[in-house]
A and B are shown apart, each in its own frame.
Chain A
Amino acid sequence: MKNSRITILFIVACVAFMFSFLLNVSLGSVSIYPDEILEGLITGSWVKTSHAQIILNYRLPKAVVALLAGVGLSLSGLQMQTFFRNPLAGPFVLGISSGAGLGVALLMLAGSAFGISALSGGLSAWAIVGAGTLGAGLVMILVSLVAWRIQDSMTLLIVGLMFGSAVSAIVSVLSYFSGADALKLFTVWSMGSLGGLAWPQVVVLGTVVLVGIFPVILSVKSFNAMLLGERYAKSMGVNPTFLRWMMILSTGLLAGSITAFCGPIAFIGIAVPHLARIMWRTSDHRILFPASALLGAILLLLCDVAGQLPGSAQMLPINAVTSLVGAPIVIGLVLRRNFSKEF
């Protein structure tokens, strides 16, 4: 009976995922019906060439990015929460988003702060991605060096948070001294965006995310053991140090690449694992990982739809939408069920 409940939930989630993907692609400043999209994708003949243009070069890559980001952030959030045994942990507790932020801030703001206009030619997407990757990678390497020396996972958590704060402080200093245009540009980046990426970038992001999922699959069993805490896990033959490296590698790749490509996307990473736990009513990671991945993708696709403000040409930043839409959902679920006991 219990297993069938889990299966039904997965089927429902898969259907919901397909629905939200189609919805995401079809809604926007111009609404295009799903049947037209499906027909166009399958047969290759479109009713209007402009529609083909919109769907193939703009909306599809954006939907795929939303899918990848939703999956990646949820998976890294779940890993962090279980590893640190902390319901407030998320993909960014080890300072990854701050690191990416620093990289991008250096690119966008440093020129302006030092009185040189680096922005005159405009910034290519690749430059932003590169800067974000470098920044996230740098912080991950620093955290790893510390992780090499310490045994205690709580210490690692604190060190990660401290790195994050220190790096954010550098970004603040840069912002303080930079010009209005550059500052606006950076602020918009820090609100996150799923669009603006072309297919080559989407392919790179997709590859990195796939690679980042591998360590998760390898360590599913160990994460289940970690539910009882590090000492119990050890007594069951799990090597917490190895698991920690797997986790740093995985979240570094997932959260790092997503933040570099899309900016820091708040909320999904922390909230989705909780939603998965509440809905599937289990703590088994063999169920929680796929469930979180599905839910994350659905939620981010739907948030993107809401952010499009269908029918209008205006758009809201994705970060604002994820929090505005997501926070009430989570508060509702948390109040309805006993949240701390579910963890």
Chain B
Amino acid sequence: MKKSTIVAKNLTLGYATSNPKKAVLENLSFQLFENELTCLLGPNGVGKSTLIKAILGQLKPWSGELTLNEKNIQNFSNPELSKALSVVLSEPVLPGNMTVGQLVALGRIPHTGWTGRLAIHDRDLIENALYLTKTEVLKDERLSEISDGQRQKAMIARALAQDGKVMVLDEPTAHLDLVNRYQIMHLLRDIATKQQKSILVVTHDLEIALETADRLLLLSNTFPLVSGLPEDLVISGQLDRLLPGDEFRFNIEKGKIEQKNPTSQVVIVGNQVIGFWVRKALEKARINKLELPIFVMDGDFTLSYGAQEFHRIGALIDYLKITQKS
């Protein structure tokens, strides 16, 4: 039996100042488990940040229950909560004079005395956090002199050094390049499994989340919260709930979101891989029907259509556009 860390039961959240009183999130029930990476997905404005605030104990639920290790989060004192739960927020931090090592050491603040003096145990945990996030080499670098991806890893190391059971990360991969996005999510996955953490990541990266998460939480404006194994959600078609309207859909074969186009009826003969990309380019150019098939010739890359031959897809499309117009 998996041990659950954060449990929400019929949780309703909202702000006291909003007028008229309107709940941001209603009747949420979900669980986070030990050793698991959970990704929370949902469109902007659906209340993801509100949920995070409630988990951090900064927002009192209107009704329902939110517990951490079977204790109501509202009953945690601030220092107690800081020992059980650490965060990486989406807001940027920049004390440029601070080194990565000092930043990670800040994670030990809840555990040290009033001077913040680090004991051997604290130093070990800091070293370990740097090691796990592969930031040891950056230890003496200043935060102003490292890249965004490195800084995000350092922030994760800081949260790790805080040594709570639960880690909550609010869009840790926003503004990062593709490689860093993959690296960070896989890093979090490793940490969850190897360090027995329970990690909740708010993200907009559906494809990376599908690949790395043990569990997905889907929030949307129109449907109640859905949670489950990513693959289950894919097969049951529930991922489409993330995509309001009819414009986009989740392509179950390719594992990614695409625009709903009339299905391409172009016939492409030859190398399937090249054919895939040719079809993709034609779809983008909104060419879904052709009188003749396209032949793909291997070796010296050549596309032939009727009597014409092309060495670039772009040239083919230009030609097709002109002929179709006339």
Contact = CB atoms under 8 A, between A and B. Distances in A.
B81 A237 contact: yes
Nearest to B93: A228
A236 B98 contact: no
A99 B186 CA distance: 56
Most buried by B among A218, A220, A281, A284: A284
B138 to A, nearest CB: 15
B96 A343 contact: yes
Nearest to B159: A235
Contact of A341 (B80, B96, B102, B162): B96
Contacts of B47: none
A1 to B, nearest CB: 10
B106 A228 contact: yes
Interface string A218-254: 1011001101110110111111000000000000000
Interface in A278-301: 281-284, 286
A48 interface: no
A2 interface: yes
Nearest to A231: B89
B58 A234 contact: yes
A229 B91 contact: yes
Contact of A234 (B78, B95, B103, B144): B78
B102 A2 contact: no
A235 B86 contact: yes
Nearest to A234: B78
A312 interface: no
A286 B115 CA distance: 8
Given A224-B106, A234-B58, A235-B56, A283 B97 contact: yes
Given A218-B114, A224-B106, A341-B144, A283 B98 contact: yes
Contacts of A2: 140
B109 interface: yes
A181 B107 CA distance: 59
A340 B96 contact: yes
A224 B97 contact: no
B110 interface: yes
Contact of A232 (B80, B87, B116): B87
Given A220-B115, A341-B96, A342-B97, A232 B144 contact: no
B261 interface: no
A2 B101 CA distance: 12
A124 interface: no
Contact of A236 (B58, B106, B140): B106
Interface in B74-126: 78-83, 85-87, 89, 91, 93-98, 102-103, 106-107, 109-110, 112, 114-116
B293 to A, nearest CB: 60
B107 to A, nearest CB: 7
A229 B58 CA distance: 15
Contact of B102 (A221, A237, A239, A283): A283
A317 B115 CA distance: 39
A231 B106 CA distance: 14
Nearest to A240: B78
A239 B116 contact: no
A236 B110 contact: yes
Given A235-B56, A236-B162, A221 B107 contact: no
Contacts of A342: 96-97, 144
Contacts of A228: 93, 95, 103, 106
Contacts of A221: 109, 112, 114-116
A236 B95 CA distance: 17
B80 to A, nearest CB: 8
Contacts of B140: 2
A252 to B, nearest CB: 22
A338 interface: yes
Most buried by B among A218, A231, A239, A277: A231
Contacts of A224: 106, 109, 116
A283 B95 contact: yes
Interface in A67-83: none
Given A221-B114, A224-B109, A236-B110, A338 B97 contact: no
Most buried by A among B79, B86, B97, B112: B97
A157 B140 CA distance: 34
A102 B83 CA distance: 47
B97 A343 contact: yes
Nearest to B142: A341
A237 B98 contact: no
A67 to B, nearest CB: 25
Given A231-B89, A281-B97, A239 B144 contact: no
A237 B114 contact: no
Given A235-B56, A236-B110, A237-B83, A282 B93 contact: no
Given A238-B109, A343-B95, 16 more contacts: A221-B114, A225-B106, A225-B109, A227-B106, A228-B103, A231-B58, A231-B87, A234-B58, A235-B56, A235-B87, A236-B82, A237-B110, A282-B102, A286-B115, A340-B96, A343-B96
5 contacts: A218-B114, A224-B106, A235-B82, A235-B86, A338-B96
Interface of B: 56, 58, 78-83, 85-87, 89, 91, 93-98, 102-103, 106-107, 109-110, 112, 114-116, 140, 142, 144, 162
The 9 A-B pairs at the shortest CB distance, nearest first, are namely A237-B82, A341-B96, A237-B79, A341-B144, A221-B116, A237-B110, A283-B97, A227-B95, A236-B109
